[in-house]
Amino acid sequence: MKFFEGCTALITGASSGLGAEFARQLAPLASGLVLVARRNDRLEELSATLRSLHPELEIRIFQADLADSGQRYALADWLEKEKMDVNFLINNAGLGDHGHFDSSEWNRVQAMLDLNITALTHLTHLLVGRMILSGRAAILNVSSVAGFFPLPNMAVYSATKAYVTSLSEALSIELRPKGITVSALCPGPVPTEFFDIATRPGEEARASHFETFPAFVVSASEAVRDGLRAVANERARVIPGALLAAAVAVALVIPFCIIRRILAAKAASF
Ligand SMILES: NC(=O)c1ccc[n+]([C@@H]2O[C@H](COP(=O)([O-])OP(=O)(O)OC[C@H]3O[C@@H](n4cnc5c(N)ncnc54)[C@H](OP(=O)(O)O)[C@@H]3O)[C@@H](O)[C@H]2O)c1
């Protein structure tokens, strides 16, 4: 994966799950990593482990709540001041909320919109100009297979991921002549902290997606490997796991009136 050799990658949501795995897989190749999330202790721990394995790697931590626009501006200013020229941006931080829309708490809905849509778009906007100047650069947006289907009981989440996939596809065309490849990673269920956090406080975790769709589950390391491969091969979109990729390809040619019935049947059993 030649592109990653000597790159400087900024990974949002690096304190757990896919974000931490991106850091682990890039560490042997990159020359610099910028790890961003709110939980500083987690970032410190990951950074110490990676530093002991790859002493030549420059690892920087930036603690930020990316839902806050002031902290996004502060991150961009700090990168400029520290002369960290990011040429690989991984917009990975994201949140879900599992349950009926009418009983959702507005704070959780707002947090999803702020992080999954606004923060991803704003951070890309803040960094893209300098990335273009660097000659060859890449952006990997972590979307979801949920972005292909309007999922009841994850309605806002799947709508935010439809936005991420759509934005990525358009930017992949727009930015390619300027030397930037843009890819959307669209995983199905991956065992991370995601579903625990998406479960509402006081509610029991329902039969998880891992139990409902065991054949579609991929590990974090597989999802990240497929995402990095898509970037290296300049692909606009990737769904990790051959079985899930095939199932989505089939579902996308089924008339939507049938998909709507399947989604309604699934929603009725919630
Ligand atoms: N796991 C799945 O099944 C699955 C499937 C499809 C797509 N995805 C997508 O994959 C991405 C990574 O999720 P994951 O599965 O790795 O879940 P995760 O383990 O819960 O990781 C989410 C990351 O986002 C960070 N984050 C959350 N709110 C933030 C904020 N306000 N500011 C900065 N960082 C914030 C968290 O760090 P802090 O809490 O420390 O800030 C954490 O590092 C998300 O975009 C998710 O939508 C996941």
Nearest-CA residue for ligand 1 atom 43 is 13
CA-to-CA distance for 229 and 169, rounded, in angstroms? 17
**What φ, ψ does residue 251 adopt, rounded to 5°?**
-60, -30
Output the pTM of the full model. Answer: 0.97
Domain segments of the chain: what residues? Answer: 2-268
pLDDT of residue 108: 97
pLDDT of residue 214: 87
Cβ-contact 34, 8 below 8 angstroms: yes
Cβ-contact 195, 153 below 8 angstroms: no
Q: Which atom of ligand 1 is found nearest the CA of 142?
A: 45
Cβ-contact 8, 235 below 8 angstroms: no
CA-to-CA distance for 213 and 244, rounded, in angstroms? 10
CA-to-CA distance for 227 and 185, rounded, in angstroms? 6
Instruction: Please name the residue that has the structure tokens 């990975």.
Output: 92
By most ligand atoms within 8 Å of CB, the mutation choice from 15, 154, 167, 210 for ligand 1 is 15
Coil/strand/helix, residue 62: strand
pLDDT of residue 58: 97
Of 157, 163, 178, 266, the active-site residue reads 157
Low-confidence ranges of the chain (pLDDT < 50): none
Coil/strand/helix, residue 64: coil
Q: What is the pLDDT of residues 38-77, one digit of tens each?
A: 999 999 999 999 999 999 999 999 999 999 999 999 999 9
**How far does the centroid of ligand 1 lie from the alpha carbon of residue 159, in Å?**
16
The residue type at 86: V
Q: What fold is seen in the domain 2-268? A: Rossmann fold (3.40.50)
Active site residue 161: yes
Instruction: Please name the residue that has the structure tokens 């990240």.
Output: 224
pLDDT of residue 208: 59
Order across the sheet with 180-185: list the strands. Answer: 58-63, 32-37, 8-12, 88-91, 137-142, 180-185, 237-238
